[in-house]
Amino acid sequence: MTTEASTDTKLADTKLKEIIAAQEEIFVRRQPKSQRLAEQAKQHLAGGVTSSWQITAPQPVWLSRGRGSKVTDVDGNEYVDLHGGYGAALAGHAHPAIAKAVAEQAQNGTHFAQPTPDAVAVAQELARRFGLPIWRFANSGTEATMDAVHLMRSITGRDLIIKIEGCYHGHHDSVQVSVAPDEQDAGPQEKPRSAPSSSGIPRAITDLTLIATFNDLDGVARLLEENENEIAGMILEPVMMNAGIIKPEPGYLAGLKELLHRHQALLTFDEVKTGLTVGPGGVTRNENVQPDLITLAKSLGGGVSVAAIGGTAQIMAHVADGGYEMVGTFNGNPLAMAATRAMLTEVATPEAYQNIERLRQRAAAGIQDAINENGLVAHVVTAGAKGCVVFSAEPVTNYRGFLGVDDRYSHAHWLYQHNGGVFLPPWGKIEQWLISVQHNEADIDRLIENFAVFARAAGPATGG
Ligand SMILES: Cc1ncc(COP(=O)(O)O)c(C=O)c1O
């Protein structure tokens, strides 16, 4: 690095530190009740929150209500909500069709552990959208991907699975591997290690999960050859969405399917995040590659907890005949099924997707303009209702590229949006915005305006 470049970097560092400190101070000042609740909560809630993802800097935001495209915090500040409950609020908040379906079902009983007719309607619609004929339900993305992994192993009688470095599939043992490893733990890029992503998981289980690099077909071919007749299948997010947004290169998904099938192994698309958000039939339909199994959750239930696992007739026959017991007290819960039916038939409609597409284009163009005008080293990536700003000059094609992106810019951007009345998901460069069916142009313009304010403060010299 030249002396000049190193001085530029130091100046950019100092500027960034200063704007983060100033914005964090404003953030805390605007939220005294949240601050008090955060302290009080620590007495009886571990870490003062209900999920460790809610522990965010400078402090967790406590919400009181959501309506339409907005949420309000306990201090009375209103936000355009593009956090969307980590991608689960494609319906927006208190959507009339969801509220009606839930209220009606609540009057008729919220739990039976016996199937209700809505389950048939939901499975039929999922089959139509995603092209896989047979479905079952669960309650969270974690349960769905756990069932998918079990099922791949049960059918093939093999123990090993392949997972992509940087993909997240929930918090069960087999997939808590190389989710967000740092450089030392990750191993060489051409042969990534299986790095544990959580404590409490036996090494013996972690070792059953082999790691591949996204967009690298050769790496998967090598793993299949080195472990002939031992690999049950592969699970991946077909568009990576726990590392910003990373898209598959042309031919990658089809190539994976071909490779895996050649070795009698199965392919699972984890569409928990992408599912209804990138389009009505997920990446599966957009890319026209039919996997053996699909997992869905998040936005599927219109904000109510639900998940689904879809499979080919042959695979799901193994469930039907008891070869694999796919069970759960709350699977197909009537409240969840009523909300999901409403989501699929009344909320995630073709008109809703058209509106989202208009807003996607508006957000992407507006933010990219502000990037260009202020000389920021960054670019916008979108996929349907989802989008993010990647603070790097180069397109990111896999987790190693993502590791190199400077997270401080994402945090600073998040703070500017928050203080300016737009709630993006916390966790900086990892997460994306979610445009719901209830957002409008004014909401998106607010996102763009806040971004422009941030860009003026942070530009022109950035990391990357
Ligand atoms: C792609 C993906 N799969 C699975 C999960 C786990 O879902 P849940 O948090 O509902 O267990 C997540 C959660 O973020 C996810 O992003």
CA of 170 to the centre of ligand 1 (A): 5
Nearest-CA residue for atom 8 of ligand 1:
141
CB of 142 closer than 6 angstroms to any ligand 1 atom: yes
CA of 325 to the centre of ligand 1 (A): 22
Beta bridge partners of 360: none
CB of 273 closer than 6 angstroms to any ligand 1 atom: yes
| Among 197, 246, 271, 298, residue to substitute to test ligand 1 (most atoms within 8 Å of Cβ) | 298
> How far is residue 394's CA from residue 381's CA, in Å, rounded to a whole number?
12
Q: Read off the DSSP letter of residue 248.
A: P
> How far is residue 278's CA from residue 386's CA, in Å, rounded to a whole number?
7
Per-residue model confidence (pLDDT) at position 1: 52
Is the CB of residue 420 less than 8 Å from the CB of residue 446? yes
Per-residue model confidence (pLDDT) at position 57: 87
CA atoms within 13 A on the CB side of 186: 19
Nearest atom of ligand 1 to the alpha carbon of 271: 1
CA of 143 to the centre of ligand 1 (A): 9
| Among 175, 273, 388, residue to substitute to test ligand 1 (most atoms within 8 Å of Cβ) | 273
Crossing angle (nearest 10°) for helices 407-419 and 441-458: 130
> How far is residue 232's CA from residue 217's CA, in Å, rounded to a whole number?
17
Q: Is 409 a catalytic residue?
A: no
Per-residue model confidence (pLDDT) at position 459: 84
CB of 163 closer than 6 angstroms to any ligand 1 atom: no
Per-residue model confidence (pLDDT) at position 351: 98
CB of 270 closer than 6 angstroms to any ligand 1 atom: yes
Nearest to 172 by CA among 198, 192, 154, 194: 198
- Per DSSP, which regions of 92-183 are E strands? 134-138, 160-164
Show the tokens assigned to 393.
């000059």
Per-residue model confidence (pLDDT) at position 293: 99
Catalytic residue among 173, 216, 270, 292: 270
Per-residue model confidence (pLDDT) at position 461: 47
CB of 275 closer than 6 angstroms to any ligand 1 atom: no
Residue 36's H or E segment, with its range, is: helix 32-41
Q: What angle do CA 186, 190, 194 make, to 5 degrees?
A: 35
The amino acid sitting at 411 is: H
Q: Is 191 a catalytic residue?
A: no
Per-residue model confidence (pLDDT) at position 463: 44
The amino acid sitting at 373 is: E
Per-residue model confidence (pLDDT) at position 303: 97
Nearest-CA residue for atom 16 of ligand 1:
273
10-residue mean pLDDT profile of the chain (464 residues): values are 62 88 96 95 95 90 98 98 97 98 98 98 98 98 98 98 98 98 93 96 97 98 98 98 98 98 98 98 98 98 98 98 97 98 98 98 98 96 98 96 94 97 94 98 98 93 44
The amino acid sitting at 100 is: K
CB of 432 closer than 6 angstroms to any ligand 1 atom: no
Q: Is 298 a catalytic residue?
A: yes
